[in-house]
Chain A
Amino acid sequence: MITKSNPDDILIAGIGITPVGEHWSKQLRSLALEAISAARRDAGELVPEAIYVANSLAPVLSSQTQLGALIADFAGLRGVEAYTIQAAEASGGAAVRQAYLALQSRQIDVALVVGVEKISERPSAELEDALVMSGDADYEAIHGVTTAAQAALVMQRYMHEFDLPEDAFAGFCVNAHANGANNPLAMFQRAIDEKKYAKAPMLCPPVNMFDAAPIADGAAALLLTRAGVFPQTPAHAQVRIAASSQATSTLALHDRPDLLSLSAASDSANKAYRLADIQAKDIEVFELHDRFSIFAALSLEACGFAERGEGWKLAQDGSIRPEGSIPICTFGGSKARGDSSGATGVYQIAELCLQLQGRAGGNQIPNVRTGMAQCLGGTGATAATHILQRVDDS
Chain B
Amino acid sequence: MQLPRHWRLNKQRYALEGEICTHCQAKIFPPRDICPDCGEAANTPLAFSGRGQVYSFTKVNQPPASHEEQAPYTVALIKLDEGPTVTAQLTDLDEDQQSVEIGIPVEMVTRKLYSDGDLGLLIYGYKFRPLIEHA
Contacts and interface: CB of A to CB of B under 8 A. Distances in A.
A259 B102 CA distance: 14
B56 A157 contact: yes
Contact of A125 (B64, B87, B102, B114): B64
Contact of A128 (B64, B70, B88): B64
A160 to B, nearest CB: 5
B30 interface: yes
B125 A142 contact: yes
A153 B55 CA distance: 9
Interface string B45-75: 0000000000111111111111110100101
B56 A154 contact: yes
B55 A157 contact: yes
B15 interface: no
Contacts of B61: 202-204
A206 B102 CA distance: 13
Contacts of A132: 64
Given A138-B5, A149-B60, A128 B86 contact: no
Contacts of A160: 56, 102
A143 B89 contact: yes
Nearest to A128: B64
Contacts of B62: 124-125, 128, 146, 148, 203
A211 to B, nearest CB: 12
A144 B102 contact: no
Interface string A108-145: 00000000000000011110110010001011111111
A316 interface: no
Contacts of A123: 65
Chain A: number of interface residues, binned into ranges: 35 or more
Nearest to B123: A142
Contact of B85 (A138, A146, A254): A254
Contacts of A239: none
B64 A207 contact: no
A149 B58 contact: yes
B75 A143 contact: yes
B63 A253 contact: no
Interface in A245-292: 250, 252-255, 259
Contacts of A148: 60, 62
Contacts of B114: 142, 144
Contacts of A59: none
B77 A146 contact: no
A156 interface: yes
Nearest to A256: B85
Interface in B1-57: 5, 9, 30, 36, 55-57
Given A138-B9, A149-B60, A205-B59, A125 B65 contact: yes
Interface string A187-221: 00000000000000011111100000000000000
Given A125-B63, A125-B68, A156 B102 contact: yes
Contacts of A124: 62
B113 interface: yes
B65 A145 contact: no
A54 interface: no
Query: Which of A132, A142, A204 lies at the interface centre, i.e. has the most chain B CB atoms within 10 A of its CB?
Result: A142
Contacts of B70: 144
B76 interface: yes
Given A123-B65, A142-B123, A144-B64, A253 B77 contact: yes
A259 B55 contact: yes
A144 B67 contact: yes
Interface string A297-334: 00000000000000000000000000000000000000
Interface in A170-186: none
B57 A156 contact: yes
A253 B56 CA distance: 11
> Shortest 7 CB-CB distances between A and B: which pairs?
A152-B58, A128-B64, A144-B67, A125-B65, A129-B64, A157-B56, A254-B85
Given A145-B87, A254-B84, 11 more contacts: A125-B64, A128-B64, A140-B87, A146-B62, A148-B62, A149-B75, A152-B58, A157-B55, A203-B62, A253-B77, A255-B36
11 contacts: A125-B63, A125-B68, A138-B5, A138-B30, A142-B123, A143-B89, A144-B70, A144-B75, A144-B114, A160-B102, A252-B87
